[in-house]
Structure 1
Amino acid sequence: MPNHVILGKGQVGSTVAAILASRGEQVRVLSRSGGIDRPGIRHLAVDAGDRDALLAACRGADVIYNCANPSGYHRWAAEWPPVAAALLDAAEAEQAGLVITGNLYGYAPDRRYMTADTPLDTAGAKGAIRARMWDEAVARHRAGRVRVTEVRASDYFGPGALANAMIGERFMRPLIEGRSVSVFGDPDAPHSFSYIPDVARALVRVGGDDRSWGRAWHVPTAPPRSSRQMADAVRRLAGHDGPAKVSRVPWWFVIGVMGAFRPHLRGMAETRHQWDAPYVMDSSDFTGTFGDEPTGTDEALTETIRWWRERAAGA
């Protein structure tokens, strides 16, 4: 039976763990604070920046999943490089496959349509960090030292996506309640949104398929919709009549005013192009290779609304 190690217990890491445990496989979830063990899932408190501790926690792994993310954009430069290097060392030491949860930041701002083969040629600091992580992983793979793959997603939505998600609390809660919503960027620009369960299923799929190694993939993702179209869909599926009332938050307010109190928002100066113009990813290569189709947007939003309503009832 394969032994799986997951770094990170956020919405993606937790969903990956649940999928694997439901198949009867053994899972270790590593995080700074640890967690409550569940059938098939063991939580360990590990500082991922401590290389020796991380290697020890990964001992015996067959597949390692990097589902972690530093707590804010302003911490990426300091925190990502040592963690990425330690994960590569752990995978090499255990001869385990390393599955990396990636994003689209490495693509240049003028890319409006992206495939998994699109060059990682951004000049942005955060995207460059992710690109270097992938380059270093591929170099080890080509040298025969480790097996790696990266699964890239666009902006998350779905159960568990809270404050930092564009389609998170500040978007979902008011629309479910029948109120207006404010968004960043052009509300009518088409944008790809990746559903969290689809992200997790894609990670599990590539971790168990030898066709995945040595290259990047895009998470199966439904056709793009604008923020306004997403808002209209949430309002309709929540049982409200008429279109959503959508306003735009100016960037000077997001980055300058809100960023003064929430440092991660200042980092959006580099990624605002993702919301000011079409931002579309193509995942047909994943579907053509592995057969996995994305969840339809209405189905995904219906499940997300259900999760939010259950959460509100529980609170």
Structure 2
Amino acid sequence: MRLHTILGAKGTITTQLLPVLQQHGEKIRLVSRNPTPVAGAETRAADFLNAEQTRLAVDGSTIVYLLVGLEYSANVWRRDWPVIMRNVIAACKAASAQLIFLDSLYTYGRVAGAITENTPPRPVSEKGRILVEIEQLLLAEMNSGRLSAIIAKASDFYGPGAVEKSWSGSLVFSRLKNKQTPQWPVNARVPRTYTYTPDIGRALYVLAQHPEAFNQTWILPVASPTLTGQEFSALAAKYMQGSGKVQVLPKWVFGLMGLFIPFMKEAHEMMYQDENGYVLDSTRFNQTFNFTPTPYEEGIRATAEWFLKN
């Protein structure tokens, strides 16, 4: 039986991938610094900055999912991401395991039109430049044939349980639950792709099942057409009996708040994604694997129900 190992056992996407693996009767290992026991899954503790601990965490694996979430800080990313990527690459090569790396869109920078697998990396942020560098580490191994791997790209996400590191969770669903007006960064009148977290979990498993999918970059499934911030917030309000209006937070607000709140300082450089629209095109994935992304209304309804209950 194949062993599926998840590096980053406590993240939002792990909570969506785990039940998919369980439903298919897969053998599962969950790895983090302090993993929580889960029925039917093995757990191991490891610091991915430590090469030997990472090697032991991956040993015996068939498929490895790199879902590690670091502190949202360019300084931390610059310090830790290259080390983690090198350690994970070495561990996967030692175990003859295949690697699936869940990556963001920061590598693309400002893009006119929809982002596809053919969009070239042109980062305009420090975090984007760091991710390009670690992608290059992985691509070098993939292109040389030394490692079988996938770079899977997802947008900012929304979904049940997506509270931390999710603008939609903190600014839309959480505020509606508290009977407050939803907020949106910079511009609510342009299309802005959000990826539904259960779709990410399903899509990662689909990739793991297809040997021909490896040694490529994939845009993970997103619903179409892309909603504007106003449309997204209005749908959330519909299912949470809240205000259909949305309060737009100007870019300068993030700059000002960044003087006092480290997260806002780090988020300020990413505001370009919300200024003129940011759209993903997952046609290649959808057609290749006959995958139907969850429509926005269905996903927003399920997310609203989760927030109302929790």
CA distance in 2, matches of 1:208, 1:261: 46
Contact 2:64 2:100 (C-alpha < 8 Å) held by counterparts: yes
- The TM-score, its normalising length taken from structure 1, stands at 0.93
Which letter maps to 1:116? Answer: E
The more displaced of 115-124 and 247-256 is 247-256
Residue 64 (structure 1) aligns with = 64
Contact 2:157 2:166 (C-alpha < 8 Å) held by counterparts: yes
**After superposition, where does 1:176-215 map in structure 2 within 5 Å?**
176=177, 178-215=179-216
| Cα RMSD (Å) | 1.5
Across the two proteins, how many residue pairs are aligned to each other? 307
The Cα shift of 1:256 comes to: 2.5
Q: Which SS does the other structure have where 1:220 is aligned?
A: coil
**After superposition, where does 1:8-87 map in structure 2 within 5 Å?**
8=8, 9-39=10-40, 41-74=41-74, 75-87=76-88
- The TM-score, its normalising length taken from structure 2, stands at 0.94
Equivalent pairs: percent with the same residue? 25
The Cα shift of 1:95 comes to: 1.1
Runs of at least 4 residues off by over 6 Å: none
Contact 2:103 2:151 (C-alpha < 8 Å) held by counterparts: yes
Residue 232 (structure 2) aligns with = 230
Which letter maps to 1:168? Answer: G
Contact 2:160 2:303 (C-alpha < 8 Å) held by counterparts: yes
Residue 244 (structure 2) aligns with = 244
The Cα shift of 1:202 comes to: 1.1
Contact 2:239 2:305 (C-alpha < 8 Å) held by counterparts: no
The Cα shift of 1:182 comes to: 2.0
Residue 292 (structure 1) aligns with = 291
CA distance in 2, matches of 1:284, 1:147: 23
Contact 2:172 2:236 (C-alpha < 8 Å) held by counterparts: no
The answer on 1:114 being equivalent to 2:112 is no
CA distance in 2, matches of 1:15, 1:123: 31
CA distance in 1, matches of 2:222, 2:301: 16
Q: Deviations over 1:76-112 (max 9, x none)?
A: 1111111111111111111111001011111131444
Q: Which SS does the other structure have where 1:299 is aligned?
A: helix
The answer on 1:144 being equivalent to 2:130 is no
Which letter maps to 2:151? Answer: E
Q: Deviations over 1:92-138 (max 9, x none)?
A: 11111100101111113144421011111224221121122222212
Contact 1:172 1:305 (C-alpha < 8 Å) held by counterparts: yes
Q: Deviations over 1:33-86 (max 9, x none)?
A: 2112322x2222211111110111110000000111202133211111111111
The Cα shift of 1:177 comes to: 5.1
